[in-house]
Structure formats: C-alpha cells, structure tokens
A and B are shown apart, each in its own frame.
Chain A
Amino acid sequence: MRISVAAWSPEYSAEIDLGPDEVTVEQVDCSVEPGPWEPRSPGDIGALADLPLAFVDGTRRIDARLFLSDNGSAPVSGVAGSVGVGAVVCDPAPGGPGGRKVSNGEPRRARVAEMRIDRFIAAGDGTRVSLSGAAGLTYQPLPVPGTGTTIDGLVGAVHESMRVREAQLALEMATSHLVFSDGPFAVMRPEAVRVVAFIKSHQRRYLDEDHEQIIGKLGCGERTPLFAFGEPRPRYSWYLRLCALEADDHLWHGLVRCEAPASVGLAGVIELADASASLLPQFASLPHWDPRAPQNLVPVAGLEKRLRHLLGDRELVYRMIRSAANKAADEGNGG
C-alpha cells in the first residue's frame, strides 16, 4: 500500500474527496477529441498567447445570523452575508511559459482589475429585509422562497449569489482577456468563448477505471483529451497537471479539472484546453506559500486576500450589524 500525505493543509477539505458517483461514468463521453486517449502536451497556442489573462474569483463570509419576526410571529431565520468578487489581470507573456517580459520589454505585472463587494440578507419564506449601517455598510434583501429553509440553505443562497457574480464578471472580462474562473460554471452563455473554469478539488469521478489510468501518466503542463458531459449545461472538461510529481506524491497531486461550455464548439475548446495547459503551471503556488498548493493559483490567492480584506473587519462588521438592527427596531417601535 502506497501512502501519500495530502498536499493541502488539513484545515481545508481535502483536494480529493471522491464520493459516490452522481454523474455515472457512462454519461461521460471520452471520445469527443480526435486522437488517442493519451496525455497531450500543448504546442503553440497561437493568438491566445497574446491576450492578457484574467483570473476571476469570489469569496463570501457570513457576517451574522439573524432572526426576523413581524408582530410577534415565529421568527424566520436569516443570515447577513458579504460577497466579494474580483479579477486579477496578468500581462500576456509572449513566448509561452517562461516568457517573463511583455512585448515592450517591461516586466510582466499582475494587478487587481476589479473588486466588487455586495452584502445580502438572505431570509426564508421569501422575506425581503434590508439593513443600513454606518460607513456604507448596506445589506440588500435576498429572499429565499419556500418555508422551512435551513441556515445551510440560506448560506447556500449567499454562495450562489457569489457564483452568479463571478460568472458575470468572467463574461465581462472575456471581451478582452483570456479568463480563468475559479470554480465550476454557475451561469454559462454561448458568448463565453474565452472563459475556462478551473476546479481545484475533486469530489466526483468523471472517468471510468480504464480512462482514469491516464491521470497517473500526466506530466507537468500536460492535459487529458477532452471529455464531454452535462445536462442541462453541456460542457467539455479535461484534467491537467500543474506541477511535476515527486516520488512520494499521490497520482492526483497537482491536478485541476477545467471546463468550458460546449456551446463554444469543439475546436474553440481544444484551443482553450491547450492554452490552459500551457499557461496555468506558471501560476501554480508552492507548498510553503499556500496551504492549498499548487492548485490555488498565485494570482487567485492574492486576489482572495484582498477581497477578504475588503469585506471588512469581521468583529467591526458584526458590531455595526447589531447597532443597525437596534436602530431599525427603535424606529419600528417609534413608528
């Protein structure tokens, strides 16, 4: 028996936690891309190499749990949550991986191009509640329909609103960037021709045992051929390895799965897949640097840190919610 230690720090869920198959492997079509089922090394990625890259990610935080009641009725659960989504733009690096200078000879730079913070109060029974605190702290209503929504359900609603915003930003950035969006697609539109979703952890198996053998053979910067699945959102997907395997690594180490909507077309997705295999390993993080290395990409880690910072100090925000709630209650009583 071979024992490998998980690369991600134990405070995060494991990068591989394969549960019971929901998508049965029979539904996955491994024959979409022409050629043998062998690891593929991208060659020249053509015009995509000249596009600036955008990394899109979001973060969310539950700031407070609330109970909402009207005229002595039984309280309805609510959560106040903050959502931040943003994008880091990296200069293109002509010459492919290892290219360090942009075309005018300046060193390549990464910068935060966009950061958007939204705050919501998610409440069950379709309840619409908003709250305004000092210094621009405003929570918009996020009604969740249906009775008996659990706290987990409300948190899920906040999470979903984050993913919608991520997708929206990814689409905006895609007009002039090659976009890598953290996490699977929430919303996909056919115009998303240059958006690649990359998924850091693996909760599901997509390949049958025969096809899965390829994962052990993937070298750094190599990808699997495309495979297709998905209703109602058909998509192409592929695995790629971000770093070389060390002797004691498990075979899924440094593995990410990417997706692109099927609507982009097979040829377009093959280009995106090659571009991802060519570009993403440059952005892989190192174990001492990030607890979720190498899958948590360096620009994404930087962005996440900034977004979390912009969500505001947790204690301070909590206090402001309390005082805003008090004030609202006083006004309600007074009126």
Chain B
Amino acid sequence: MTDTPVGLVLGSEASNTTEFKVVLHEDEYLQLDDLVVVRTQVPKVGEVATYGMVTEIETVYEGTTFQSDTFRVAVEGTFPAEKSRCATVQTVRVMPEIWVAPDPGEHVHRASGDERKKALYYDEMGAGGTPRALPVGLSHDDEPVWIDVDFFDGTKGAHMNIAGVSGVATKTSFALFFLRCLTSHPEVMGRSANNLSVLVFNVKGDDLMFLDKPNNRFGPEARDEWAKLGMHPSPFESVSFWGPTGERKDGIPEGRNIRSGIHAFRWTPREFVDEGLLRFLFTESQDIRQQITFVAERVERQLQRFAQDVDGQPGAIVLRDPTSLPNEDNKPVIPMKDEKVITNLYDLVEALEEYLEPEGGEADYAWSGRVAPGTVGAFMRRMRGSLPRVGRLVRAGESRRIDRSVEAVTVVDIYDLHEAAQRFVVGALIAEVHRDKDGKGRFPLSVIVLDELNKYAPREGWSPIKDTLVDIAQRGRSLGILLIGAQQTASRIESDVLSNASIRVSGRLDAAESEKGEYGWMLPSTRARAKLLKPGTMVLSQPPIPAPVSLRFPYPPWATRSEEVEETGGSPLEGL
C-alpha cells in the first residue's frame, strides 16, 4: 500500500463478502480489472485486508430523477447535481481468512507490488519454497499475471481449455505462447520441463509451420513485454514438421511444401493393422448407432490375426488364415498366387471384400459377426467412401511414421486433409501418445495441443477419438499427458473433457455462446466483456483464484506466415 487512497467503500449500499463498491475521489480513477485492497478493523480479530478486482464502473449525477435532468445539469446549468463515480469490486481474497465485508467509509487503495501479488495469490502458488507461479501474460497495467503450474502439470490439476471465436480469439497463438512460457521458466517448471514433448496439429493455414523461424515484424515493444515476463523472446528451438505424403509418391506434395525440412509421413499397411488404426476410419458419431464400429472392431481383430509381412515388400501384407497356414516365427511370406498383396488402403478394401462381400455368398461370420447383412454393406460402403479421403495416408514402403522423439515439439500439418483424414491422423497420434505413456509414469510430460476440439470430443455421440480424449482428460494427471484443447464453443464439447481442464481461458466469445453454462466460471461482467475482447486479450480462470483474470500476451518472436520469416543470411546490402 504505497499510494493515496482512490476512494472509499460505499456506505449508501450494503457491502457483502463477495462484492462491494468504491466511491471514487474526484482526482482518482479505477478501471476494469484493477486490483484494490481495503483494510477493515474487525472487533476481536484486528485488521483484515480485503483484496478485490474491479468488475464495473458506474457514473451518475446524484440527485437527478428524470433523464432530462442531465440537460438541466450539463447544458442548461440550472439544476445542482454532483457527479459521482463508483466502482464495483469483486472480492478475490481476504487475509487473514476472516470472511467479513469491508466497513463502509474505509479507504480503498490500489493493490500494487506485494499487495498485488497477494491479490493474485502469488504467495500461495507453490509449496515448500518451490515457486510454481508461471507468468503467462500481462495485465492492463503491464504487470505479470501468473498461472499456478501445479494446476497444469498434473501436480494438483491438469489440462487447459481455450474457448473463443475463430480469427479474433487467438486461441492457438495463446496456446503456443503458453508452451513457450513452460519451456522458458525451468526454475518454475522444475522436473516438468525436462524432455517435455509437445504434439501440435496445424489445422489452419501456415500458422504453425514457422515456429522455429524468427519473426521479422517482432519489434522492440514486444521485446519489452517479453522482458517483463522474464522471458527471452526467441523462436522454438527444437521443432520437427510433418506433413502427409502425396497421393502417388512419397514426399510432401508441391502445394503444401511451404518450407524446407517438412518430413512426409504415412503409415504402412502393416502399421495400420498393428496399431489398430482401422477404427479411426469410423469416427463419425452416427457410426456407433449403425453398429459399424462393431464390425470394424471385429475386422480389426481379424486383420491382426491374418496379416503376414510380404517378403521383399516392406510394410506390405497379405491376409492368410493362421489356422490353415500357421507362420510360427512371423517371417515374411512369399504371397501365393491367389493372395492379394496389400500395399495400400485400396488393396485392403479389395481384400476385405472377399471376406465380407464374397461374390454370390454371405459374409464370413468370423469377420462380420452376426450383424444384419445391411450393416456389413454399410461398413464396406464407408470403407470405400473413405478411400479418396484417407487413402494417401496408408501405403507400403519404408516406414514413414511420425517420430515424436526427434525434437521437443512435433508439428503435424493436417491443413489440406479432408476432415475424415484429419480425424484419422489426430486419432492415430493421440492413441499413440496414450499408448506410449500408459503405465510409464508421469515424467517426461507429454502435451497435446488440439484445436477444434469439438470435432474430436463432441458432446453428442461416441467415437474412438473421443474415447481416448475422455480417458486422457480423466487420467491425464497420472499419465503425464496434458491436453491443451481449443474450440469456438465449449458448449459443444464433451463435458468430461471440459470439466477436467483445471485452467480455462477464453478469448472473444460469440454473444449467444457466452451466456451458456459452460462459462459459469466467468463473472457476469466478464461474460459481457468476453463479447468484446480484442485479439491478444484473454480471460483466465484457475482454481486458486476465485475470479477470472484478464491478460494479454505479447507478439510472438516466431513467424506465423512465410512473409514474416526473417532472412537469416543478413541484408543483401551488407558489406557494400
């Protein structure tokens, strides 16, 4: 408490333990999000400090009754009235924890320095001398805003959910900035920072394809802001980029080869079968209703029994009944005359036809189970339907799977894939992370950044991806998998996934969306403002602080488009 009071606790309206008002001195002001402190003498207890955050400001000509009195006061100058300005304050903390309302007429001060830290529970973040307060943005007065990382890294809670309208809510930008915060503060992150592995999907444009390149528009102002957060502004150091291989040959197709060093990925039929990826071809929510997923599970199991490697053709398989022709030591086999060598999904569909839609016969129960013939037909139609969308992702040859271990951050470009193929890739990779971490302890931590979460974990229906995401949401804390999910509308997300996210962030929200119950963590004033937030401004909620805090995060030092990539060769005029 260093400065002069800004006002007094209003006495003409009742204060309570959650909210009070401050009538402002003539030469002082408060604005939204300002933090204030009031000290009240409580009988038998002594001094109690109440910390609060400004949620609304009101002004009025006192004594006026009619709307037209404003003219009498301000234009005609005939009616005497006092201008009164009043700030509504939401209590965020009382110290010591004696829950009383501040006394009317008490002096209200701005909370700055240590008082501000107390108002934001900085002193409560971390225990046993280990600081756990991670700066993740700046408040409007250019002071850091912290997240208690205990509530992100699984110690006390896990996961982050980011909501907001596409384009202006800067969801992905904030997620990346947050990742940079995680990696820039080893003193806060401690063990969690070691070998942190991050999986990010590039869903829109080229946003994430230049994370390792300096941004030529990064200016001194942004540099200052990074410095205020105690961070050196630099691009991500350890990033690998992956894009789906082309339709006919391995390598990134011309149109998406937007930078050097993108690795082409695909799965071989062998990997497709072994990892049970078939299920990710059936990720639409109506698939479960039509029992197609039942057939898919059956087929998947049969494929795993029947698939044999083909000699001389890496990654390719043939289907051979293990009971009639056992292959004890799993050696690659030489295909027989009537056996179809499966080198891609098209081949696989053809091979499955023999079991599920044999000419002039009925489906093999071992493959189809006892479902109606129509269901088998539907399954095959969906298989064929997915070929042009997903077909390019599965082809025999050298293994070209995504290797997440080469760099800390793995960016997977799925921008030009059909939605079904996007789901296939996301589903396959998330399942892979899940499988890798299951039963192996929390560390090193694995972070998955997933935009358009509503596609993968929708509230309605079931899909194998949703299944995995729900499990990650529920058990991620112990598995060491942390999900940073983002979507436009939290109300369309599976509630298990949402409610397990300890940290909630929101950029600008659609007006109707902001009224939904999913944003119950916001104050009414926050909801009203969420419709107006500027790009780069977010509202943050975390368990230790009982009120949402708004923050802005600085401009990134990495490029988000090819035009922003700083040429490292130096100026062409250099040396002249």
A and B interact physically: yes
| Chain A interface residues toward B at CB < 8 A | 88, 90-91, 93, 100, 102, 107-112, 282-283, 288-289, 297-299, 301-303, 305-306
Residues of chain B with a CB closer than 8 A to A109's CB: 73-74, 77
Instruction: Report whether A302 and B79 are in contact in the complex, using a CB–CB cutoff of 8 Å.
Output: yes
Bound-complex Cα distance A112 to B78 (A): 11
Residues of chain A with a CB closer than 8 A to B68's CB: 289
Task: Give A286's nearest chain B residue, CB to CB.
Answer: B68
Interface centre among B68, B73, B75, B78 (most CB of A within 10 A): B78
Task: Give B64's nearest chain A residue, CB to CB.
Answer: A302
Bound-complex Cα distance A90 to B75 (A): 12
Q: Is B338 an interface residue (CB 8 A)?
A: no
Interface centre among B63, B68, B73, B79 (most CB of A within 10 A): B79
Instruction: Report whether B73 and A110 are in contact in the complex, using a CB–CB cutoff of 8 Å.
Output: yes
Residues of chain A with a CB closer than 8 A to B141's CB: none
Residues of chain B with a CB closer than 8 A to A110's CB: 72-73, 77-81
Of A100, A111, A305, which is within 8 A of B76 by CB? A100
Of A93, A100, A112, A289, which is within 8 A of B80 by CB? A112
Of A93, A111, A298, A305, which is within 8 A of B72 by CB? A298
Q: Mark B26-38, 1 if CB is under 8 A from A, else 0.
A: 0000000000000
Residues of chain A with a CB closer than 8 A to B81's CB: 110, 302
Bound-complex Cα distance A196 to B423 (A): 87
Instruction: Report whether A282 and B76 are in contact in the complex, using a CB–CB cutoff of 8 Å.
Output: yes
Q: Mark B70-93, 1 if CB is under 8 A from A, else 0.
A: 001111111111000000000000
Bound-complex Cα distance A302 to B62 (A): 10
**Could you say which interface size class chain B belongs to?**
10 to 19
Of A100, A298, A305, which is within 8 A of B75 by CB? A100
Bound-complex Cα distance A282 to B74 (A): 14
20 contacts between A and B (CB under 8 A): A91-B77, A93-B77, A100-B77, A107-B74, A107-B75, A108-B76, A108-B77, A109-B73, A110-B77, A110-B78, A110-B79, A111-B80, A282-B76, A288-B66, A289-B68, A297-B78, A298-B72, A298-B78, A299-B80, A306-B80
Q: Mark B260-275, 1 if CB is under 8 A from A, else 0.
A: 0000000000000000
For the complex of A and B, list the 7 residue pairs with the smallest distance between their C-beta atoms, beginning with the closest. Answer: A108-B77, A298-B78, A110-B80, A302-B80, A88-B80, A112-B80, A302-B79
Residues of chain B with a CB closer than 8 A to A111's CB: 80
Residues of chain A with a CB closer than 8 A to B73's CB: 109-110
Bound-complex Cα distance A22 to B478 (A): 100
Bound-complex Cα distance A90 to B73 (A): 10
Bound-complex Cα distance A297 to B80 (A): 12
Bound-complex Cα distance A88 to B82 (A): 12
Which residues of chain B from 49 to 74 have a CB within 8 Å of any chain A CB?
63, 66, 68, 72-74
Q: A110-B73, A298-B72 are in contact. Are A90 and B63 (CB under 8 A)?
A: no
Bound-complex Cα distance A276 to B244 (A): 90
Residues of chain B with a CB closer than 8 A to A302's CB: 63, 79-81
Of B63, B66, B74, which is within 8 A of A289 by CB? B66
Residues of chain A with a CB closer than 8 A to B66's CB: 288-289
Instruction: Report whether A299 and B79 are in contact in the complex, using a CB–CB cutoff of 8 Å.
Output: yes
Residues of chain B with a CB closer than 8 A to A297's CB: 78
CB distance from B79 to the nearest CB of A (A): 5
Bound-complex Cα distance A9 to B217 (A): 71
Instruction: Report whether B78 and A283 are in contact in the complex, using a CB–CB cutoff of 8 Å.
Output: yes
Bound-complex Cα distance A109 to B73 (A): 6
Q: A107-B74, A110-B73, A298-B72 are in contact. Are A306 and B63 (CB under 8 A)?
A: yes
Instruction: Report whether A298 and B79 are in contact in the complex, using a CB–CB cutoff of 8 Å.
Output: yes
Residues of chain A with a CB closer than 8 A to B75's CB: 100, 107-108
CB distance from A88 to the nearest CB of B (A): 5
CB distance from A76 to the nearest CB of B (A): 39
Instruction: Report whether B63 and A305 are in contact in the complex, using a CB–CB cutoff of 8 Å.
Output: yes
CB distance from B185 to the nearest CB of A (A): 53
CB distance from B12 to the nearest CB of A (A): 11
Residues of chain A with a CB closer than 8 A to B77's CB: 90-91, 93, 100, 102, 107-110
Task: Give B74's nearest chain A residue, CB to CB.
Answer: A107
CB distance from B380 to the nearest CB of A (A): 80
CB distance from B14 to the nearest CB of A (A): 16
Bound-complex Cα distance A93 to B76 (A): 10
Bound-complex Cα distance A102 to B77 (A): 10
Bound-complex Cα distance A148 to B80 (A): 43
Bound-complex Cα distance A229 to B47 (A): 68
CB distance from B115 to the nearest CB of A (A): 33
Task: Give A98's nearest chain B residue, CB to CB.
Answer: B76
Interface centre among B66, B76, B81 (most CB of A within 10 A): B76
CB distance from A295 to the nearest CB of B (A): 14
Instruction: Report whether B78 and A90 are in contact in the complex, using a CB–CB cutoff of 8 Å.
Output: yes
CB distance from B213 to the nearest CB of A (A): 56
Bound-complex Cα distance A203 to B71 (A): 34
Bound-complex Cα distance A102 to B75 (A): 11
Residues of chain B with a CB closer than 8 A to A305's CB: 63
Instruction: Report whether B78 and A299 are in contact in the complex, using a CB–CB cutoff of 8 Å.
Output: yes
Task: Give A306's nearest chain B residue, CB to CB.
Answer: B63
Name 13 extra pairs, CB < 8 A, besides A91-B77, A108-B77, A303-B80: A93-B77, A102-B77, A108-B76, A110-B72, A110-B78, A282-B76, A282-B78, A289-B66, A297-B78, A298-B76, A298-B78, A301-B79, A302-B81
Residues of chain A with a CB closer than 8 A to B63's CB: 302, 305-306
Residues of chain B with a CB closer than 8 A to A102's CB: 77
Bound-complex Cα distance A282 to B75 (A): 12
Which residues of chain B from 542 to 572 have a CB within 8 Å of any chain A CB?
none
Bound-complex Cα distance A56 to B547 (A): 50
Bound-complex Cα distance A112 to B82 (A): 9
Residues of chain B with a CB closer than 8 A to A283's CB: 78
Bound-complex Cα distance A153 to B8 (A): 44
Bound-complex Cα distance A288 to B68 (A): 11
Residues of chain B with a CB closer than 8 A to A93's CB: 77
Bound-complex Cα distance A102 to B74 (A): 12
Interface centre among A91, A93, A109, A297 (most CB of B within 10 A): A109
CB distance from B350 to the nearest CB of A (A): 86
Residues of chain B with a CB closer than 8 A to A298's CB: 72, 76, 78-79
CB distance from A269 to the nearest CB of B (A): 25
Task: Give A113's nearest chain B residue, CB to CB.
Answer: B80
Residues of chain B with a CB closer than 8 A to A100's CB: 75-77
Residues of chain A with a CB closer than 8 A to B78's CB: 90, 110, 282-283, 297-299
Bound-complex Cα distance A189 to B538 (A): 70
CB distance from B186 to the nearest CB of A (A): 59
Residues of chain A with a CB closer than 8 A to B74's CB: 107, 109
Bound-complex Cα distance A107 to B63 (A): 19
CB distance from B83 to the nearest CB of A (A): 10
Which residues of chain B from 261 to 318 have a CB within 8 Å of any chain A CB?
none
Bound-complex Cα distance A303 to B80 (A): 7
CB distance from A227 to the nearest CB of B (A): 29
CB distance from B84 to the nearest CB of A (A): 13
Task: Give A297's nearest chain B residue, CB to CB.
Answer: B78
Bound-complex Cα distance A111 to B82 (A): 8
CB distance from B78 to the nearest CB of A (A): 4
Residues of chain B with a CB closer than 8 A to A112's CB: 80
Task: Give B81's nearest chain A residue, CB to CB.
Answer: A302
Task: Give A87's nearest chain B residue, CB to CB.
Answer: B80
Bound-complex Cα distance A156 to B73 (A): 35
Residues of chain A with a CB closer than 8 A to B79's CB: 110, 298-299, 301-302
Residues of chain A with a CB closer than 8 A to B76's CB: 100, 108, 282, 298
Task: Give A102's nearest chain B residue, CB to CB.
Answer: B77
Bound-complex Cα distance A283 to B78 (A): 6
CB distance from B166 to the nearest CB of A (A): 46
Task: Give B69's nearest chain A residue, CB to CB.
Answer: A289
CB distance from A280 to the nearest CB of B (A): 11
Bound-complex Cα distance A297 to B76 (A): 13
Task: Give B77's nearest chain A residue, CB to CB.
Answer: A108
Task: Give A91's nearest chain B residue, CB to CB.
Answer: B77
